[in-house]
Amino acid sequence: MPFQLTKEQQMIQKMAREFARKELAPVAAERDQNHTYPGDSLKKMGELGFLGMLVSEKYGGEDMGTVAYSLALTEVAYACASTAVIMSVHNSICCGSIEKYGTEAQKEEFLRPMAGGEFIGAFALTEPEAGSDPQSMTCSAVRDGDHYIINGTKRFITTGKNSGVIILLARTAEKGSHGISAFLITHDLPGFAVGRIEEKMGQCASDTTDLLFTNCRVPASRMLGREGEGFVIAMSGLDAGRIGIASLSLGIAQAALAESIKYSKQRTQFHQKISDFQGLRWMIADMAMEVAAARLLVVNAAAIKERGENCTAAASMAKCYASEMAQRVTGQAIQIHGGYGYIKEYPVERFYRDARITTIYEGTNQIQRIVIANELMGNPKRQK
C-alpha cells in the first residue's frame, strides 16, 4: 500500500537531517577513533526533543509517533551510528517501558527528565550465559523487607557507564519467564558497579559495559511493573527496539550508498569516471533497490506500531532484513571504493564496521526468524 508522510513527519525528518549532518557527521570519525561518548550532542538532541519522541506531552515528551521517530533515527544513523544506538535504546525500550509500566512516581522521577535529555536510559537483559535465551538469566533479586537484594552480572549493556537510569531484568523466582522482574537502577545504589568497557569493532563512541551487582540494595519502590512481569516488559520493549535498530541499519546503508555515488563520480580509471562503467552502475542500482525495500519494511513496522496494532512480526522482519541489507550495502560500498574503502580516511570503512553488529543486538537475526515464523505459524512448543 502507498504510504505518504505527513507534513509534520517531513518537517521532523528535515530537522533531524539538518541537525545530524551539521552536528554529528563532522565529528563522527573522530569520536569513533577516540571512543568519545557524544554527551554534548545528546544534550542538544534532548533540547530539540529527539530524546522524548515517543513520550507523552504529559511527561514532558513530544509524542511525535513511531514513524517520525524512525525517520529521525535514520537521519541520526546516517551521520553517526554510535549516537543513533544510544538514541534508539533510550527512546524505544527505556522511555517506552517506563511510560507503559511505571508508576506515576517513577514517571515523574525518571521519565520526565529522560524526555528532556537530562540523562540517558540503558537496558540490562543480557548476561554472560544468557543472551538469546533470556530465561536462562541467573542475576537474582531477593526480597528483604522494603528492598530487593540483587546479585549477578550483566553483559554488553549499551550506555552502561553513561546512563542515568538502567532497566534491569533479574530473577525473583527460580524458573521460567514468570520468575523475571524489572527494576530501575541508578548508579548511586550500594553494591552496584560498572565493569569493563568493551573494545568493539564498531559503534565505538557508544560505551558497552558489564554491570556488576554484589548484594545491591534496591528499594522495592524501584520495581518496574509487577513482580514476575519483567519478561513481558522486556519483550514489549524489544518490539520497539527492533524498529529502532532497523531504522539505524537503514541510515547506515543510505550513507554508504550516498558515499559510493559521490566517490564513483570523482574516481577516474581507464580515462573515464568509474561511474560510467556498467558493472559499477549495476552495483549502485542493486544497492539502491535494497535500501528502498528496507525503507518500506521499516516504515511499515513503525506505522503498525503507531496504530497500536501487534507489530512483533513486522518489527522482526524490518530489523532482520534492514540489518542484513546494511551489511551487503556497506560491503559493496567498500568494493566500489577499492583500496580506499579499506582505510579510515574514507567513511565507508566505519559504515562497514558499524553495520556488523546490527544483525546481533536486539536479538540475533536467527532469533528474528524464529519470532517471525512463530507469529505466522504458531509456536511449535505451544502446539504440543
All three cell numbers of 231, joined, read 519478561
For the segment 228-252, what is each residue's pLDDT rounded down to a tens digit? 999 999 999 999 999 999 999 999 9
All three cell numbers of 106, joined, read 517513577
Q: Where are the domains of the chain?
A: 7-120, 122-231, 232-383
For the segment 122-159, what is each residue's pLDDT rounded down to a tens digit? 999 999 999 899 889 999 999 999 999 999 999 999 99
What percent of the chain shows pLDDT beyond 90?
94
The CATH number corresponding to 122-231 among 3.40.50.300, 3.90.320.10, 3.30.70.940, 2.40.110.10 equals 2.40.110.10
Is 309 one of the catalytic residues?
Answer: no
User: Taking 60 as the threshold, does the pLDDT of residue 284 lie above it?
Assistant: yes
Distance between CA atoms of 22 and 11, rounded to whole angstroms? Answer: 17
pLDDT at 2: 55
Distance between CA atoms of 173 and 180, rounded to whole angstroms? Answer: 7
> Rounded to two decimals, what is the model's pTM?
0.96
Q: What are phi and psi of 159, to 5 degrees?
A: 60, 25
- Provide the mean pLDDT of the chain: 96
Pairing of strands 192-197, 121-124: unpaired
User: Taking 60 as the threshold, does the pLDDT of residue 259 lie above it?
Assistant: yes
CATH architecture of 7-120: Orthogonal Bundle (1.10)
| Same CATH fold assignment for domains 7-120 and 122-231 | no
For the segment 72-104, what is each residue's pLDDT rounded down to a tens digit? 999 999 999 999 999 999 999 999 999 999 999
User: Is 161:197 a contact under the CB 8 Å cutoff?
Assistant: yes
pLDDT at 384: 39
- Residue 217 CB-density burial (10 A; 0-12 exposed, 13-18 middle, 19+ buried): middle
Q: Which of 99, 174, 362, 375 is catalytic?
A: 362
Distance between CA atoms of 111 and 118, rounded to whole angstroms? Answer: 10
Using alpha carbons, list the distances in angstroms from residue 269 to 263, 265, 266, 272, 284: 12, 11, 10, 6, 17
User: Taking 60 as the threshold, does the pLDDT of residue 1 lie above it?
Assistant: no
Strand (E) positions, the chain?
A: 121-124, 140-144, 147-158, 165-171, 180-185, 192-197, 208-219, 223-224, 268-269, 272-273
Q: Which of 95, 124, 123 is nearest to 111 (CA)?
A: 95
- Dihedral sign for Cα 61, 62, 64, 70, please: negative
Overall fold of domain 232-383: Butyryl-CoA Dehydrogenase, subunit A; domain 3 (1.20.140)
Give the bridge partners for 193, in sequence order: 212
Span 210-214, average pLDDT: 98
Span 190-200, average pLDDT: 97
DSSP letters of 153-200? EEEEEETTTT-SEEEEEEESSSSSGGGEEEEEE-TTSTTEEEEEEP--
Distance between CA atoms of 287 and 281, rounded to whole angstroms? Answer: 10
